[in-house]
Homo-oligomer: A and B are copies of this chain.
């Protein structure tokens, strides 16, 4: 006769009263100067519907016992497919009128990571970043080489025109016009239009983060922002938190924003909320960087921090929280 099974409930951070482990997901659809007075109610409703769809899709994966990695990849894929957001279809256009896409993903267990930059024909850059992490010994692949890998892996390809929308074409023309009529070399105002991203905590206690972008309108020279840079735009580590950033990429790269939040949590024992405040409201602001981050810690606490007018965002967790917002 076997001894009776001994049932031990180990106290986990954020665990619910019934012993269930917390679930949480947060998403963003970019941050920056969002002029409230210019936003028609139906456009606002449409943005919120897009955010809700991605948020709920990601959360339902967590609820079914899926991984945080699957949840963030799926939420970001939906935001890439939604032409309202600056990633995948609907991405902003380069000076030459093309879409040029970057993305990265990180698994807090491991940690493992995958990233792509300068992609023009892979329908979902986040799916390519995921495959680089899962199926190659590498972390980062760029340009045509990355697309060759994508083709070998059987990912879906689209012509570059798939990504382009009339709204982004107009936006590009306005940016080029502004540039011609402003100081030479000075970047046109309002050209930084963010990214999309997601962070999540699953039932197994694993954290994950994902970020995807078209970069900045009217960009040139193969410019790459923080979105595909592990440590800047994306970072996840089961020991601390998962972070996805959006904003003026150059500042986020120089400040190594996502890893800096992790480092403040791990080395200074700050809460993720305090670490995010320090990095976004103090350090980034001092450096002149606009934008924000979303983060989730091991207990499932969600942080949505930005130092500009608005950030398209959503948050949902197993404590019953569910909200989407812009300002």
Q: Which residue in B113, B221, B249, B264 is a CB contact (below 8 Å) of A254?
A: B113
In this assembly, does A178 line the interface, its C-beta being within 8 Å of a C-beta of chain B?
no
Interface flags for A89-126 (1: CB within 8 Å of B; 0: not) read 00000000000000000000011110001100000000
Segment at the B interface, from A25-33, A68-76, A79-87, A226-234: A226-234
B231 and A139 contact, CB distance less than 8 A = no
Which positions in A face B, CB cutoff 8 Å? 110-113, 117-118, 136-146, 148-149, 185, 187, 220-225, 229-232, 235, 249-250, 253-254, 256, 259-260, 263-264, 267-268
A268 to B264, CA, bound (A): 10
B256 and A144 contact, CB distance less than 8 A = no
CB distance from A92 to the nearest CB of B (A): 15
A235 to B146, CA, bound (A): 26
A183 to B7, CA, bound (A): 44
A222 and B254 contact, CB distance less than 8 A = no
* Chain B residues whose CB sits within 8 angstroms of the CB of A222 once the complex forms: 141-146, 148
Which residue, of A149, A221, A263, has the highest number of chain B Cβ atoms within 10 A?
A221
B140 and A118 contact, CB distance less than 8 A = no
